[in-house]
Amino acid sequence: DAKTTQPNSMESNEEEPVHLPCNHSTISGTDYIHWYRQLPSQGPEYVIHGLTSNVNNRMASLAIAEDRKSSTLILHRATLRDAAVYYCLSGATNKLIFGTGTLLAVQP
Amino acid sequence: NAGVTQTPKFQVLKTGQSMTLQCAQDMNHEYMSWYRQDPGMGLRLIHYSVGAGITDQGEVPNGYNVSRSTTEDFPLRLLSAAPSQTSVYFCASSYWGGYGYTFGSGTRLTVV
């Protein structure tokens, strides 16, 4: 199973963009890159996923390095509601293995 | 749509008791998984399934059994509860191939 590395914590100010990095140097060619987040006292929530190309949806953007060994989740304008643990995962889609994630704090 | 429904939401067991955590989804998802999350920790995969009749072990399968007789249901059985199994359990489901998972709201289990 591919392993991911994320910073333990990050801080952002409200209304500013946030770039959450993730390294997945052991990713294989068919592994997707997934991002989930977990708000306090809730179950994880799907954010975005991609294979090779950058991806955008209503929640965020995913920028994938050309060699696929790293990716960045971009929240374009952080809100207080975006304070959560963000998990980056890479691997087969039938077997998602979570790491420890990045705790994002958003300051008003 | 109800999404992923987990029951019960809370449960207290005595050491040695057995119980089944229920998980049902109404989205016709092929993939289903069970995770546990200990306080202040990340999620660990217990068992997963890619379709009815097919299950496999995840990272921490010991002490748990699963079966998948229908597409909709994926129950998790604790055979003989131990205090180390005190945790929050999440069930999740997804379509086949490259889609995001939908998670249930969790079952908080305490074993005394």
- Judged by CB atoms closer than 8 Å, whether chains meet at B44 and A44 is answered as no
Beta strands A102-107 and A9-13: pairing type? parallel
Which of A92 and B38 is assigned the larger pLDDT?
Answer: B38
pLDDT at A20 over 90: yes
pLDDT digit string (tens) for A81-100?
Answer: 999 999 999 888 888 889 88
pLDDT digits (tens, 9 = 90+) for B58-69: 999 999 999 999
Chain mean pLDDT for chain A:
93
Q: Which residue of B has its CA nearest to A88?
A: B42
Indicate which of B36, B44, B101, B108 best probes the interface with A, i.e. most A CBs within 10 Å of its own CB. B101
Tokens 């960045």 label which residue? Answer: A72
pLDDT at res. B40: 83
For position A100, what pLDDT does the model report? Answer: 87
pLDDT at A95: 86
CA–CA dist B72, B93 (Å, integer): 10
User: Angle CA(B47)–CA(A26)–CA(A53) in degrees, nearest 5?
Assistant: 95
Compute the average pLDDT of residues B91-111. Answer: 91
Size of interface A-B (CB pairs under 8 A): 60
Burial A75-101 (b: 16+ CB within 10 A, else e): beebeeebbbbbbbbbbbbbbbbbbeb
